Amino acid sequence: METDVKAPKYSLNEEEEKKEIVRQYRALLKSLKPKLKTGHRELLRLAFEMAADAHKTMRRKSGEPYILHPLAVARICVEEIGLGVRSTICALLHDTVEDTDLTLEDIERAFGSEIARIIDGLTKIANVVDNNTTQQAENFKKILVTLTDDPRVILIKLADRLHNMRTLDSMKREKQLKVSSETVYVYAPLAHRMGLYNIKTEMEDLAMKYLEPDIYREIARKLAETRRERTRYINDFIRPVKEKLERAGLNVEVYGRPKSIHSIWNKMKKKGVAFEEVYDLFAIRVILDTPHDHEKEDCWKAYSLITDMYTPSPERLRDWLSNPKANGYEALHTTVMGSQGKWVEVQIRTKRMNEIAEKGLAAHWKYKEGTNDESRFDKWFTQIREALAQDVSSIDFLQDFKTSFLAEEIYVYTPKGDVKMLPVGATALDFAFSVHSAVGSKCIGAKVNHKLVPISHKLRSGDQIEIITSNKQKPHEDWLNFVVTTKAKSKIKDALKEEKRKVAADGKYVLQRKLESMGASVSQANIEELTSFYKMASPLDLYYQIAVKNIDLKELKEEFQVLGDKLVLPKVVKLPEPEIKAPEPDNSRPALKKESELIIFGETSDKIVYTLANCCKPIPGDDVFGFVSTGKGLIIHRTNCPNAARLMSNFGHRVVKTKWAKNKEISFLTGLKIVGLDDVGVIHKITNLVSGELKVNIAALTVEAKEGLFEGNIKLFVHDKEELDVLVDRLKRLPGIEAVERYDTELN
C-alpha cells in the first residue's frame, strides 16, 4: 500500500446520492452472491432499509449521507475479511443502537438474539462512572468481553475502524491524532493477531500519514520514484524462479509485493539506515496450488530450488510451517541475495495458507469446519476470558492486553516436551505462572536448556524450561518489573495485596492506639482525613506505611488539633511569594485561543502554564499536541513521541489542539547524534559549521571514537525545526559524515 489515500471531496445532489446508495448496496449483494441462501436477500434488504431509515437525517463530517458508512463497513467485512450474511446484517446495523432511535429490542424482534447480542457488543458505553478508567478503555474491554463469545464482534469493529481511517481526512486535526493513535496502539496489533495482515498494514500506513505526515510523504515519494526500477528488478528475479519451479512439477504463482511505508520506516529506525539502505524493499510471494497432504513437502521443495539459485541469509529463515503462529499464519520466509547485491525477501506458502494469511480468522473457520481440534484461536480466547475475570481497572487491563495478547508469540517446551505459547519478552517466571499459579509463586530459578538461569531470564523460541521452586519463596514487588503476561501480573498483585493486608493490620493497631491517646475517635472521617493528609491512595496503604515505619505518627500532635473527637488541620495563611523574573525568556507561557487551540508563545494576555515533554523535547515546527496531565498541567508532546500513542489511546479526552506561533526570540534545547569516519579535524569541522557558519549555540558535545568510527552527541539551542533541518542537511554534506539524526532521549 504505497498510495496516499485521499477522501474524495463530497459534491452530490439528492438524486445522485440515492443512486450512489443503491449502487453500493448492489455491490454488497454481488460480493455476497456465493454465500446467499433462501431467505437471505429478504433479511439483508430489511437490515439495509432499517439502517437507511434510522440514519436518514444523519451525515458524516465529509457531508455524505451516513448510510454510506455502514454499507462500506459491510463491504469490507465481506470482501476483505470473508464474513457472511449474518455479519453483514450486523455491519449494516452496527451504529443504529448507539446513534439512532432503534433499540436492541427492535433488532432482536427483527433478526433474533444472536444478531442483537453482536450489535450490543459493538455499541459503545455512553458514560463511565469509575474515575480510575476512561471511556476508550471501558469500551475496548466491553468489545473483548463479547469477542470471547463471538469473534465476529471484533472483526466488524476492525472493518469499522478501517473505514474510519480511510475517511479521516474530513476530521479535525485533534480527532485525526486521537483516532490514529488508538488505531496504531490497539486496532492494528489486534488485526495482526486475528491474522488480517492486509488490514493491519493499511491501518499502520494510514495512521502514520496523520501522526508523521512529513516522513510518510517523503517515503511515499521515494517509493513512487523507484517504482519502475523496482518493478523491473522484481520481474527479472521472478521469471527464472517461476520457470524452475514449474519445471520441477510445482503448480505455482509468483508475484512481487511492495513493503508498506510503515514497515520501511520501522526498518529505517531500527537499523538506523536511510531509505536507500533498507535491504528488503523487495518481497516476493510464492503461492503453491498443492493438495493438503503435500503442503509441507512442496513448500520445502520450493525453498530448496530457490536457495539453489540464490544464496540465502542463514539467520533470516523463518519456519512457520512446523510451528504456525497463534493466529494460524503458516509460511516459510527466507531472505536471499539477488542480482546487483540486493536482498530479496521470499515468502513461500500454499493457496490455503495464503487465504488464512489474508482473511485471518474467517478463513480459519472455513478450513476448520468438520474438524474438532481446539484451534489456536480457541486457546487464545480462553486466555482472554481468564484475564477478563481478574479485578483490574480497564486502563491496566488494556496495557496488559497489549503486552500479553497482542505481542508476537514464542514457542517454548516443558521438560516433558509439551509446547507452550508465550508473548515475546516473556521470562522464566512468566512460564512458571503459565504452568500453575502455585508454581509461579514459589519459583526461585529455572533451568533453560539444562543451564541454570535467574527467574527474570527472557525466553526464546525453542527453549526448554524446567522450573525450580522452594516452599520458602513468596512473590516480591520487583517481580512486576519483568513479567509480561496478564496471568503472572494479576497473581503477583493478588499475593502482594494479601501480604500487605497482614502487615497493614499491625499499622492499623498502632494508629488506633495513637488516636485514642490524643482523644480522637477511630472514625471513618478521621481515617479519610489522615489518608488525604499523607497523600495515600487508600486506608490500607496508610496502615501499611505506618507498619513499615515510613510514616511517623509523632508528628500528628503538631499537625492536627482535636475538636470533640475529630481531627482538624489548623488553617495556615501563606503570604504570596515574591515574583522572580528569570533572565531567560520564559518557556512556559503560551496563550489560549478560542476552541482551546493553544498557540504556543503567542502574544495575547491570556496565559496558560505548560511544559515541554522531556521524553521528546518538541521545538517549533514539530507536529505537537497538548496533553492535560493530572498534577503537572499542560504538557506539550510531539505527535511521533514514543508515549504519544499510549496517551492519546487511553486519555483522548485530555488532548488539546496546539500549534506554534512564530517567535524567533526563544531558543530550544535539542540533540543530534552524528556518526562518521574518525578522521583528523572532524570535530573541528563540525563545531566550525555549527557555531561559526550557522551561529547555533552548542550546549554540550561528547564524542566517542572506536575502530575508525566516531559517534558524537551534540546538544544545541535552535529556534525551530526549520533551523534544525538546515543544520542536519549541512552536517550530512560534510566529508566523512555517515549519519545525522535527532534523538529523543531526555536532554536534562
DSSP string, 277-306: G-TT-EEEEEEE---GGGHHHHHHHHHHHH
Strands 709-718 and 697-706: antiparallel
Q: Rounded to an integer, what distance in angstroms lies between the CA atom of residue 68 and that of residue 20?
A: 9
Nearest to 540 by CA among 523, 528, 552, 525: 528
Q: Is 746 exposed, middle or buried (0-12, 13-18, 19+ CB in 10 A)?
A: exposed
Q: Rounded to an integer, what distance in angstroms lies between the CA atom of residue 552 and that of residue 396?
A: 32
Q: Which cell numbers in the block locate residue 657?
A: 489542539
3-state SS track over 538-579: CHHHHHHHHHCCCCCHHHHHHHCEEECCEEECCCCCCCCCCC
Q: Find how far residue 580's CA is from the centre of its chain.
A: 43
Beta bridge partners of 562: 567
- Looking only at Cα atoms, what is the longest distance across the chain? 99
Beta bridge partners of 332: 319, 348
Residue with cell 542463514: 314
Q: Which cell numbers in the block locate residue 50?
A: 432499517
Letter string b/e over residues 145-157, b meaning 16 or more CB atoms within 10 A of that residue's CB = ebbbebbbbbbbb
Decide: 543 and 505 in contact? Cβ < 8 Å: yes
The CB density around residue 227, as the number of other CB atoms within 10 Å, is 12
Nearest to 500 by CA among 530, 531, 541, 471: 541
Decide: 70 and 24 in contact? Cβ < 8 Å: no
Q: Rounded to an integer, what distance in angstroms lies between the CA atom of residue 666 and that of residue 677?
A: 34
Q: Is 518 exposed, middle or buried (0-12, 13-18, 19+ CB in 10 A)?
A: middle
649 DSSP 8-state letter: H
Q: Which cell numbers in the block locate residue 742?
A: 535527532
Beta bridge partners of 702: 713
**573 CB-near residues (< 8 Å, 6+ apart):** none
Decide: 377 and 361 in contact? Cβ < 8 Å: yes
The CB density around residue 695, as the number of other CB atoms within 10 Å, is 7
Helix (H, G, I), strand (E, B) or coil at 208: helix
Q: Rounded to an integer, what distance in angstroms lies between the CA atom of residue 408 and that of residue 423?
A: 6
End-to-end CA distance of the chain: 40
Residue with cell 530550544: 668
**311 CB-near residues (< 8 Å, 6+ apart):** 336, 337
Nearest to 687 by CA among 668, 701, 673: 701
- The torsion defined by the Cα of 671, 675, 679 and 681, in degrees rounded to 10, comes to -10
Residue with cell 449502487: 23
Q: Which cell numbers in the block locate residue 314?
A: 542463514
Residue 162 phi/psi, 5-degree rounding, is -60, -45
Letter string b/e over residues 367-397, b meaning 16 or more CB atoms within 10 A of that residue's CB = ebeeeeeebbbeebbebbeebbebebbbbbb
As annotated, the active-site residues are 98-99
Nearest to 747 by CA among 681, 700, 694: 700
Q: Which cell numbers in the block locate residue 230?
A: 523496482
